[in-house]
Chains A and B, each alone.
Chain A
């Protein structure tokens, strides 16, 4: 971005407040971004610990460590915490840090709202974890909270529902903020079609959030009234319909899947061009593909329910619509490959993680295509094959996307280069253990192992043991990630200039600011003439 005037040494007359109150009262997008990311990491470890309890129990047949009811609480909370506590807040952290710096704005449009949307989260998370200690334990119905099973939850039910309400509120506020910021605070010349893909994917994600979080909140509120106020939305004895809940849930749940993956697409679309030293291939078609994926995400929900006994025409419709998603998703993958093609690639940690993302996400996409076939899904549904599929797209996709973004922007945020050797070690350990962990789950699933069971028939032993070994390696490796980031935050490492990565100035406004950027940065006087 050769046209940017070097003006970033103005406007830094006041820095952050002193003391811990800074973090409570802050309205600064960088502080709030840091809060989101820190919270996400803590939740990643908490949710990961729950996953390790699950994998420890599944290491061999027989029950060794936990009661089946507690096991079900673990599968439920692991999913809720990873989705709402780890992955979504991590992307919100990236959005807070990067969107203002990418579109040439001084901060987010609604800074106080920003503070509130973050500070709702720790309370929601604490409440959710606290349900474990209530009479009857936490919700044990899986993260989908299907009735009638979820209505058997003990005292935890209203608290779990309230948690969903708070989380939804937080997401909606963050989404409003992002939309307002992108629509109103772009620098002169930063037209919509010149905007980086990360901003685009987040913009689309924000709209998805606003459209579907209220549906989820409504559905769980109906659970609440069914349980405590004698309504019968989902109770057949009162004329209700348990499957209605599933339709409402997945009308939220399927777009939610894209809420989790679209920002990762944005990060990958930033990392691959920088390390290929080329512009992103087909920027406009990437924008269109993102919008098409978002639209399709609203009309495919019942492919999660192929076995509930829908009429055949409905099954056919949802099968065809689901298959269509492969087209825009394919466009994205091909565009990334074309970006790499004839580039001049180097393989620093962010690029390794981006390539890891590409491999794992495509593998998860393949099983997705297989599952879209309703007749085959009659076998796959609710088996470990499904568990393997969505962990390939959520861990291999979303989480590796987060790793890529973290290593890509960490030097920008801290002003020092992280430990590259440890970064690469973290990538390889994560990549290999991720496959050891989830690849065998395809096999046990096809062989007939249902998901969400604490104990299994002995023919599933070998692959489960292997999977558990992978899980523990993956889990311990993430402590290494914490150590690498901690070192960088403490300033241990080589100082970096504003550009950080060779030629990065051609790949985004943020690289024109100093590293670390001033507490209140400014793009005054810039005018964008072309797209990166």
Chain B
């Protein structure tokens, strides 16, 4: 997006705002009304508080500007001398109290309802990682990672030269969206593996922190099928801005079909490629792809890591040492690193390829070739 193009949009936006009722382009001014009862309640609440503030503002600023106009020295050369009035001071102490009570009562009922996660139809465990989400359907046994999609990821690199407006849903698209049924009370349990994250889909009307060592909860009952997008809302490190959330809400039937299809596809972790012989070149090529999807944000493209935070793979004792130890770290994770064995979307082939890649790229040159069967044995 060139600066000139951007300035044009800016001028356009300004003219639009002068036009008042003219249709807004693709941006919005206000909270979304959303697609759940909670989000509508929160929206109504937000507007109620807003209008109360507008009303107070009209009075306060009205008095202020009336006074500024009429009580200026040129119009009122002799100032009054009063400097207290107990009755008046009592009144403007007590009136705000009543306004606040008017706000607090509906807020209390709404809050109690929003926080009531009981009686849910299904539960999904959401785990925040730097910088992706892991979803686990506790009832259906489905689990997978969900990270920023490839197109956005390429465009968002510093100096990529790709115009973000040419990418559909730039920064708000993932490789594997969360799929939930509509009109069912879906309970979410949140936790995190490394640092604190927060799960926020504005159309659902709330966000919740995902905290390591804690389990927090929230729920939705989506009324309208559709795709709803959000982002991590709690600063969680370098790529905090790049771990979006996409939720596909579909009718129960479609959901059931999706679950069945998922189970069929993931019956064996090898994705139907058992017995294939892999050459070193094939493994290295595929390994590089996998590395660039899952590993690059921490361990960096040249395997140098981030000193003090994320260990280097180039010259690492693990990548050059015992193969089984290397495999188990990739499968089970360590510290801030997720265990990739728990992602059904990552096949044994992918894992074999990426480990082979790590053992031979970045000048590690061990010459080791890891086969998918080696992974299957340990996984």
Q: Closest Cβ of chain B: how far from A67's Cβ, in Å?
A: 6
Looking at the complex, which of A94-102, A263-271, A461-469 is the stretch in contact with chain B? A461-469
A497 at the interface (CB under 8 A from B): no
Among B84, B115, B172, the residue within 8 A (CB) of A315 is B115
Residues of A within 8 A of B195 (CB): 148-149, 152
Interface of B is mostly: mixed
Q: Closest Cβ of chain B: how far from A155's Cβ, in Å?
A: 7
Distance of A355 Cα from B209 Cα, bound (Å): 39
Q: Closest Cβ of chain B: how far from A18's Cβ, in Å?
A: 45
Looking at the complex, which of B100-108, B254-262, B274-282, B343-351 is the stretch in contact with chain A? B100-108
- B306's nearest neighbour on chain A, judged by CB, is A136
Looking at the complex, which of A20-28, A209-217, A321-329, A402-410 is the stretch in contact with chain B? A321-329
A154 at the interface (CB under 8 A from B): yes
- A69's nearest neighbour on chain B, judged by CB, is B238
Total count of chain A residues near the partner, CB < 8 A: 107
Looking at the complex, which of A279-287, A415-423, A427-435, A485-493 is the stretch in contact with chain B? A279-287
B27→A62 contact, CB < 8 A: no
Residues of A within 8 A of B164 (CB): 61-62, 455, 458
Contact flags (1/0) for B87-100 with A, using CB distance below 8 Å? 01100110011001
B80→A308 contact, CB < 8 A: no
- A447's nearest neighbour on chain B, judged by CB, is B28
Q: Closest Cβ of chain B: how far from A66's Cβ, in Å?
A: 8
Per the 8 Å Cβ criterion, residues 350-382 of A in contact with B are 355, 358-359, 362-363, 366-367, 369-370, 373-376, 378-379, 381-382
Distance of A110 Cα from B336 Cα, bound (Å): 50
A383→B205 contact, CB < 8 A: no
- B26's nearest neighbour on chain A, judged by CB, is A459
A340→B1 contact, CB < 8 A: no
Among B162, B198, B307, the residue within 8 A (CB) of A307 is B198
B251 at the interface (CB under 8 A from A): no
| Chain A residues proximal to chain B, CB less than 8 Å | 59-64, 66-69, 72, 135-136, 140-142, 146, 148-149, 152-155, 235-237, 240-243, 276-285, 307-309, 312, 315-316, 319-320, 323-324, 326-327, 330-331, 333-335, 337-347, 355, 358-359, 362-363, 366-367, 369-370, 373-376, 378-379, 381-383, 443, 446-448, 450-463, 465-466, 469
| Chain B residues proximal to chain A, CB less than 8 Å | 1, 3, 6-7, 9-10, 12-14, 25-32, 41-42, 45-46, 49-50, 52-53, 56-57, 60-61, 63-64, 67-68, 71-73, 76-85, 88-89, 92-93, 96-97, 100, 103-104, 107-108, 110-112, 114-115, 155-160, 162-165, 169-172, 190, 194-196, 198, 200, 202, 205-209, 211-214, 216-217, 230-242, 306-309, 336
State the 5 A-B residue pairs at the shortest beta-carbon distance, nearest first.
Answer: A236-B213, A309-B216, A453-B241, A342-B80, A462-B13
Listed by A's residue number, 15 A-B pairs whose Cβ atoms lie within 8 Å are A60-B1, A135-B307, A136-B308, A136-B309, A237-B213, A240-B213, A242-B212, A334-B92, A342-B79, A344-B73, A363-B57, A379-B205, A447-B31, A457-B171, A465-B6
